[in-house]
Amino acid sequence: MLNLTGKNALVTGIANNRSIAWGIAQQLHKAGANLGITYLPDERGKMEKKVAELVEPLNPSLFLPCDVQNDEQIQSTFETIGSQWGKLDILIHCLAFANKDDLSGDFSQTSRTGFSTALQISTYSLVQLSGAAKPLMTEGGSILTLSYLGSIRAIPNYNIMGVAKAGLEASVRYLAAELGPQNIRVNAISAGPIRTLASSAVGGILDMIHHVEQVAPLRRTVTQLEVGNTAAFLCSDLSSGITGQVIYVDAGYEIMGM
Ligand code: NAD
Ligand code: 0WE
């Protein structure tokens, strides 16, 4: 059975109760994992308060600010894990960002800074967090990130995020190759569209969800908790032979042609 007792799991990317990371955190908790939660701090401390209240029922033993654009915050996060937990078993990378202007219109008009922002936050952060996690995963481990179909298909308006996710999936393979000898597995879940803070800020997301409901083999979209269940599987010994993969949790949409 799926059992994560005795496992220390760091979960990034919870913004509210619709976040995919929230679905993952709940399922890891259910499977018995000890949780550490990071949040993106803002000046007024609103996010800290909101996320702290949300995750309270999961009794996280660590709750830390971690903006992936801030090297000191990343360093401090992993120093705290080292001193408080001693070892890390699971890292959930569940965050992305591109400037809103770069998620519509002509892809060829993407600016140098817009390109850089999207790839730094959405792609490089996986590499950086994995590098910081590596010395703490002394008993092996599982690293998991979230991707989207726009990495392998041209999806209207996904634009620079498609490039970022293509880089993310390639990073999963290079990290899996490097970390495999240390029994650290690295995988991605490619989730179908779900209404979250990030996706709701995008025009036309409801139409996309409606389209998936009509075309996907299961004739529906997926939920955060379904993604969470696959995440728990990929973080557990049940998936001990799987690394470097992109697993689709999309109600089958990816296989369809017409
Ligand atoms: P969300 O808005 O709930 O989560 C995005 C998170 O990214 C937020 O918690 C935000 O705080 C965090 N973030 C942004 N910039 C950051 C930074 N500089 N440092 C640290 N954290 C930062 O939305 P979500 O849909 O749950 O997105 C989570 C992941 O799932 C993303 O990687 C997204 O690409 C992926 N995904 C989403 C969908 C979807 O349809 N919602 C589908 C497939 C994949
Ligand atoms: O990866 C994502 C969301 C990515 C995202 C969304 C935003 C909106 C608000 C990254 N950065 C921002 N920045 C903002 O300012 N998804 C898979 C959800 C999503 O986003 C899309 C989609 C889908 C699906 C954008 C265009 C088209 C489809």
Catalytic member of 158, 174, 248, 253 = 158
Distance CA 95, CA 21 (A): 8
Q: Report the atom number in ligand 1 closest to the C-alpha of 198.
A: 2
Q: Among the atoms of ligand 2, which is closest to the Cα of residue 148? A: 17
**How sure is the predictor about 243, in pLDDT bands with cuts at 50, 70 and 90?**
very high
148 is catalytic: yes
Domain boundary assignment for the chain? 8-248
Query: Which amino acid is residue 60, in one-letter code?
Result: P
- Going from the Cα of 148 to the center of ligand 1, the distance in angstroms, rounded, reads 11
Most informative mutation of 10, 11, 95, 165 for ligand 1 (most atoms within 8 A of CB): 95
Region 221-250 average pLDDT: 98
CB atoms within 10 A of CB 4: 23
Residues 6+ apart with CB under 8 A from 215: 253, 256
Question: In 3D, which of 30, 39, 41, 32 has the Cα closest to residue 4?
Answer: 32
pLDDT of 145 higher than 90: yes
Instruction: Check residue 59 and give left, alpha or beta (phi > 0: left; psi -120 to 50: alpha).
Output: left
Q: Please answer whether residues 171 and 123 qualify as being in contact, where contact means their C-beta atoms are separated by less than 8 angstroms.
A: yes
Q: How confident is the model at residue 208 (pLDDT cuts 50, 70, 90)?
A: very high
DSSP H or E run through 38: strand 34-39
Q: What does the pLDDT read at residue 199?
A: 95
Alpha-carbon separation of residue 172 from 32, 85, 142, 180, 252 (angstroms): 26, 25, 12, 11, 22
136 Cα: distance to centroid of ligand 1 (angstroms)? 25
**Ligand 1 centre and the CA of 235: distance in Å?**
19
Token pair, residue 107, equals 């892809």
Q: Does residue 158 have an active-site annotation?
A: yes
pLDDT average, residue stretch 87-100: 98
Do residues 9 and 61 touch, judged by C-beta distance below 8 A? no
Does ligand 1 have an atom closer than 6 angstroms to the CB of 189?
no
CATH of 8-248, one of 3.40.50.720, 3.20.20.450, 3.30.160.110, 1.10.760.10: 3.40.50.720
